[in-house]
Structure 1
Amino acid sequence: MSKPSSDTVLLTGISGFLGGHVALALLNAGYKVRGSVRNLARADKVRATLTAAGADISKLEFVELDLTADQGWDAAMDGVRYLQHTASPFLLKMPSDRNQLIGPAVAGTERAITAALKAQVERVVLTSSMAAIAYGHEKTGAPLFSASDWTRLDGRPVNAYIESKTRAERRAWEMMEAAGRRNDLATINPSGIFGPLLDEDPGTSAILVKRLLDGSVPAAPRIPITVVDVRDVAAAHIAAMTDPQAGGQRFPMADKPLYFIDVARLLRTHFPDRKIPRLEMPDWVVRLYALFDRDVRDNLGELGYAKRLDSGPTITLLGKSLVPANDALMATAESLIKHRIV
């Protein structure tokens, strides 16, 4: 149902993969969207991308915000009814100093929540992650993690990204509870986000599919990828913003985990002429390679450990089943080819 233009939503991270899809969903629903970018020079590119996706951008405006700076937050929140905070650093290559990732993620969340509370926005929707739920636990078969679970930072080693998402979400809940407004926050906790790209920027998750398609991965490591479609994630952000029952809730999102070799087989079926790996890499080879590659070393704990999420609350929120993982991955592959990224 369309909303009046007075319903203004501040959307941080609008130039990102998920942020673009959230903006598209908001605009299509009739909201006025105030998108934040680190540099206003990026605004024209976002306008062009959303226009090409079929959005009416007459209700779109931009503000300049930086997760690491205090300037601009109060002005950006002026007249805002809802905050969608999707902005957060996400890197495939982990920094040597963990705080380069953790610091901006937590500080950015603090700045966004502080400004939202000051402006008395009606609801805050925070993009968190499966990373804040399912890591640091002992390996026990094929576990099912739910909204009540939290990543254990004192458990099995976790990388900087996982720690950043966990600390940022915990800080958001702490701040909202301290203000007596816990029920005015909802967090979306997706797994790896795949699906159609809106432009030629592959983002981060899509890079995994790109590497399989372009032949740069000779064999598939036995590491699982848990998949959710970006269109479902965007829809969950909108539903969590307005559903009275969504306040104070976390919403895990994932269809199912697939191993790299499963994804490779799927892609090879549809793109038989591409040099997509046919073999799975033995774990001992991955461990040997990890001695010389920090990024692989940071993810060794996930070898052979396929985690599942209980998406029941999100399915109820959306009123429909999630897009199947295979469909999300194929949408990623097709759009990588469409935009000539591979």
Structure 2
Amino acid sequence: MTDRVLLTGISGFLGGHIALALLNTGYTVRGSVRNLSKADKVRQTLENAGADTTNLEFVALDLTRDEGWREAMEGCRYLLHTASPFVIQMPRDKNELIRPAVEGTERALNAALAAGVERIVLTSSMASIAYGHDPKRTAPFTADDWTNLEGRDVTAYVESKTRAERRAWELMKAAGREDDLVTINPSGILGPLLDEDPGTSAAIVQRLLDGTVPAAPRVPFVIVDVRDVAAAHVAALTGDVGGKRLPIGERPMFMFEVAQVLRKTHADYARKLPRFEMPDWAVRIYALFDKDIRGILGELGIRKSLDSSTAEALLGRRLIAADQAVSATAESLIAHKLV
């Protein structure tokens, strides 16, 4: 297979795993980075993970600038757009997140449509599905659900992902090509790191292992393994899922449950792991001094789940267990000497 895929955000945690899966499947990958000075490191990281990078090339693209998008799309059969800003600590001006997310999506999709690519796979998020709803809801969130931007505790990140995905569907509808778009909507992504950058996804496990979380707030996370999310992106390029949204998350776990998994699988770190859950009132006081905690107050005690049946059907198997994703994250953090 020599089909060329433009993969934006190749230097990210998910982007690296997608590149690895694409190369191992036989695609030619044109990866975008903001600065080409990152290219050698990305190439070496993928080679260290076992990839043959003969069919790997790089282009410089910026979500906030027009330059280079048309040229980057030339000769590509598919677009896989993963690049989007992500933070834990919310900015004072929400448009610092929303603008590049939406405008980057517009630039990528408009260039792809102009180039006549066959299919576009967009990395969206559970954030565009499961927020701003009744906190008492127990039913799994599905592809038919959209985040209510007028609802409670909708952060700038949640709004950025929701607006970016809605804009993608608007563009494809206007072009008469809705069936040529697939969005992947993952929950919190964990799993093995490819390099020494823990990014934001592994920060929760890192903080648990290094002892900086003395007691666990009652914050639940729907967890999915990065290898499943990457495999879903690659399968969506040619699978019978055109025009669909694919929520993907294995199961929800409270932070204390994550700590309990780590206590079993990494007993050497047991003394650093939290031994009890922090009452919600104490979390709210603690958040006055910890900006990372402040950003998750709206999720205290709210356990959500996703209907991942379409993603599992595409993959032809069950998702990797959340416990395994947690353990794999810890293993790689330790291997890279990050804890």
Give per-residue Cα distances to partners, 1:27-48, cap 9 Å, x unaligned: 0011000000000000000000
What residue is the counterpart of 1:255 in the other structure?
Answer: 250
Contact 1:131/1:165, CA 8 A, preserved across alignment: yes
1:317 paired residue among 294, 297, 314: 314
Letter in 1 for 2:333: L
The gaps in structure 2 that reach 5 residues or longer are none
What residue is the counterpart of 1:277 in the other structure?
Answer: 274
Please, which moves more after superposition, 228-237 or 287-296?
A: 287-296
What residue is the counterpart of 2:331 in the other structure?
Answer: 334
Contact 1:81/1:121, CA 8 A, preserved across alignment: yes
Letter in 2 for 1:109: T
What residue is the counterpart of 2:6 in the other structure?
Answer: 10
- TM-score when scaled to structure 1? 0.97
> Aligned to 1:200, what secondary structure does the other structure show?
coil
What are the equivalent positions in structure 2 for 1:8-87 lying under 5 Å apart? 8-87=4-83
2:228 paired residue among 220, 232, 240: 232
Q: CA deviation at 1:293?
A: 4.3
Q: How far apart, CA to CA, are the structure 2 residues paired with 1:101 and 1:141?
A: 28
What residue is the counterpart of 2:261 in the other structure?
Answer: 266
Paired residues in the alignment total: 337
Q: How far apart, CA to CA, are the structure 2 residues paired with 1:330 and 1:93?
A: 25
Letter in 1 for 2:169: W
What residue is the counterpart of 1:299 in the other structure?
Answer: 296
Contact 2:89/2:295, CA 8 A, preserved across alignment: no
Kindly, what percent of the aligned residue pairs are identical?
66
What are the equivalent positions in structure 2 for 1:112-191 lying under 5 Å apart? 112-191=108-187
> Aligned to 2:162, what secondary structure does the other structure show?
helix
Q: How far apart, CA to CA, are the structure 2 residues paired with 1:83 and 1:53?
A: 23
Give per-residue Cα distances to partners, 1:59-115, cap 9 Å, x unaligned: 000000000000000000001000000000001111111110111000100000010
Contact 2:184/2:233, CA 8 A, preserved across alignment: yes
- TM-score when scaled to structure 2? 0.98
1:215 paired residue among 192, 211, 218: 211
Q: How far apart, CA to CA, are the structure 1 residues paired with 2:290 and 2:189?
A: 25
Q: CA deviation at 1:24?
A: 0.4
Q: How far apart, CA to CA, are the structure 2 residues paired with 1:321 and 1:203?
A: 26
The gaps in structure 1 that reach 5 residues or longer are none
Q: How far apart, CA to CA, are the structure 2 residues paired with 1:64 and 1:44?
A: 13
> Aligned to 2:234, what secondary structure does the other structure show?
helix
> Aligned to 1:228, what secondary structure does the other structure show?
strand
> Aligned to 2:106, what secondary structure does the other structure show?
helix
Contact 2:185/2:247, CA 8 A, preserved across alignment: yes
Q: How far apart, CA to CA, are the structure 2 residues paired with 1:235 and 1:272?
A: 31
Contact 1:159/1:299, CA 8 A, preserved across alignment: no
Letter in 2 for 1:117: L
Letter in 1 for 2:276: L
RMSD of the TM alignment (CA)? 0.9
